[in-house]
Amino acid sequence: ELTQEQANKSQNDLLSISLISSLAKAINCRVIISGGYAVDGALGQLTRPHNDIDIQIYGQSDDATKIVTELFEQAAKVKTQFESFQIEDKRRTDYNHNFYVHIGDTIADAYYLQTQNNPFEEQKVIIKNDGSMTEPHSFDTHHVVLSGINFEAQNPLVEVVDKIYKREHRGDTKKEKHEQDIYNLKLLVSESDIASKLGEIIK
């Protein structure tokens, strides 16, 4: 059970997800939600409080900072909560550029990925940090409705395998919320599919 304060924060986060997704489309960027809200979206209900929003942003621009800044500047014109947002540049990896966007009492953990092709196509080709490109591969998403808000989220199989790999193979700290998310996702995905997908990653 969420407290009323937690429920209100979650609803506010979901409205922010809807706003950012809409604004991103206007600049030909695609927003996909992962993490806790993707889990709850797959289940169709809020299962726990969320401290942050995990956002993947796909676009063809090579200037990640400009895109992320523009998105939240536009959001600030619509929603007062965004007016004092602050962007913290975390790191650039082979595949993405990570930013923490501080919005009031919420952090948007935003990952920008540059695509060679239109990000609204069925498959994506990611331009890596060294300029090379990945092979085309599926976005592996689905559309969900959570507390009346519709958004695109990472599908349950990808989400659960990502969580299991990071905690049981890569060595990331496993928290109670991760245990809960994995348990919930296993209600939706078969163990054989999880083993097969996980095998593709660790082989």
Distance CA 100, CA 91 (A): 10
pLDDT score of 144: 98
The 10s digit of each residue's pLDDT in 69-78 is 999 999 999 9
| Cα 56 to the center of its chain, rounded Å | 4
Please give the model's pTM, rounded to 2 decimal places. 0.95
pLDDT score of 104: 86
Residue 55 near residue 109, CB atoms below 8 Å? yes
Distance CA 32, CA 38 (A): 9
pLDDT score of 147: 96
